[in-house]
Amino acid sequence: MITFFVAFLLSLAVALTLTYFVRNWARAWGWMDPVDSSRKVHVRPIPRLGGIGIVAGFFAPLCALFLVDSGVGHHFRLHTELVYGLFLGGAAIAALGLYDDLRGANARLKFGVQFLVALGLYALGFRIEVIANPFGPELSLGVLGLPFTVFWMVGVVNALNLIDGLDGLAGGVAFFGVSTNFILALARGDILLCLLMAALAGAILGFLVFNFNPASIFMGDTGSMFLGFVLAAVSIKTSTKSGTAVAMLVPVMALGLPIMDTLLAVVRRSLLGRPLFSADKEHIHHRIMSRMVLSHRSTVLVLYGLCGLFTLTALGLNFANSVQSALLLSGMGVVIVVLMRKLGYLDLARAGDMQQTRQRNIRLRSLVKEVSASVRAAKSVQEVWTSVRALAEGLDVSRLELRFQHVRNELTEGIVFETQRAAGSPVSFDLRLDVKDGDAVIGALSLAWANGRNATSRDEELALELVADAVAERSARLFAHADADPSRVVMLRR
pLDDT of residue 352: 65
* Pair (423, 292) in one structural domain: no
Does the residue 457 lie in any domain?
yes
Does the residue 180 lie in any domain?
yes
DSSP 144: G
* Pair (338, 401) in one structural domain: no
* Pair (394, 337) in one structural domain: no
Secondary structure of 304-356 in the HEC alphabet? HHHHHHHHHHHHHHHHCCHHHHHHHHHHHHHHHHHHHHHCCCCCHHHHHHHHH
* Pair (303, 400) in one structural domain: no
Low-confidence ranges of the chain (pLDDT < 70): 34-44, 132-138, 239-248, 348-352, 406-413, 439, 482-494
Secondary structure of 406-471 in the HEC alphabet? EEECCEEEEEEEEEECCCCCCCCEEEEEEEEECCEEEEEEEEEECCCCCCCCHHHHHHHHHHHHHH
pLDDT of residue 483: 62
* Pair (206, 139) in one structural domain: yes
CA angle 216–219–223, rounded 5-degree value: 160
**Neighbouring C-beta atoms of residue 301, cutoff 10 Å:** 13
- CA dihedral sign, ordered 286, 287, 288, 290: positive
Q: Is 399 helix (H, G, I), strand (E, B) or coil?
A: strand
> Is there a contact between 487 and 393 (Cβ–Cβ < 8 Å)?
no
Q: How far apart, in whole angstroms, are the C-alpha atoms of residue 284 and residue 198?
A: 29
Q: Return the bridge partners of 401, or none.
A: 418, 446
Q: How far apart, in whole angstroms, are the C-alpha atoms of residue 62 and residue 73?
A: 8
Residues spanned by the domain of 74: 2-346
Residue finishing a domain among 298, 323, 346? 346
pLDDT of residue 276: 72
pLDDT of residue 494: 39
Task: Confirm whether residue 164 is marked as ligand binding.
Answer: no
Q: Which long-range contacts (CB under 8 A, 24 or more apart) does 108-111 make?
A: 111/154
Select from 227, 155, 234, 228 the least CA-distant residue to 194: 234
Q: How far apart, in whole angstroms, are the C-alpha atoms of residue 359 and residue 273?
A: 7
User: What average pLDDT does the chain have?
Assistant: 84
The residues, ordered by sequence, that sit 6+ positions from 311 with a Cβ below 8 Å of its Cβ are 176, 177, 179, 180, 254
Does the residue 352 lie in any domain?
no
* Pair (292, 218) in one structural domain: yes
pTM of the model: 0.82
Domain CATH code at residue 429: 3.30.450.80
> Is there a contact between 452 and 375 (Cβ–Cβ < 8 Å)?
no
Instruction: Report how many domains make up the chain.
Output: 2
Does the residue 232 lie in any domain?
yes
* Pair (318, 465) in one structural domain: no
Residue finishing a domain among 327, 346, 365? 346
DSSP 216: S
The residues, ordered by sequence, that sit 6+ positions from 353 with a Cβ below 8 Å of its Cβ are none
* Pair (62, 148) in one structural domain: yes
Does the residue 363 lie in any domain?
no
Q: How far apart, in whole angstroms, are the C-alpha atoms of residue 203 and residue 49?
A: 14
pLDDT of residue 131: 73
Rounded alpha-carbon distances, angstroms, from residue 13 to 51, 61, 201, 217: 15, 11, 12, 17
Question: What H or E segment, with its residue span, contains residue 55?
Answer: helix 51-67
Task: Confirm whether residue 221 is marked as ligand binding.
Answer: yes
> Is there a contact between 381 and 390 (Cβ–Cβ < 8 Å)?
no
Rounded alpha-carbon distances, angstroms, from residue 343 to 270, 347, 449: 19, 9, 32
Provide the residue type at 154 as one letter: V
Question: What H or E segment, with its residue span, contains residue 279?
Answer: none
Provide the residue type at 315 as one letter: L
* Pair (331, 416) in one structural domain: no
* Pair (269, 392) in one structural domain: no
Per-residue pLDDT of 41-76, as tens digits, reads 545 678 888 999 999 999 999 988 888 777 777 777
Does the residue 388 lie in any domain?
yes
The residues, ordered by sequence, that sit 6+ positions from 171 with a Cβ below 8 Å of its Cβ are 204, 207, 208, 211, 219, 223, 227
Does the residue 365 lie in any domain?
no
* Pair (45, 156) in one structural domain: yes
Q: Is 4 helix (H, G, I), strand (E, B) or coil?
A: helix
Residue finishing a domain among 346, 370, 390? 346
* Pair (103, 171) in one structural domain: yes
Q: How far apart, in whole angstroms, are the C-alpha atoms of residue 72 and residue 70?
A: 5
Does the residue 480 lie in any domain?
yes
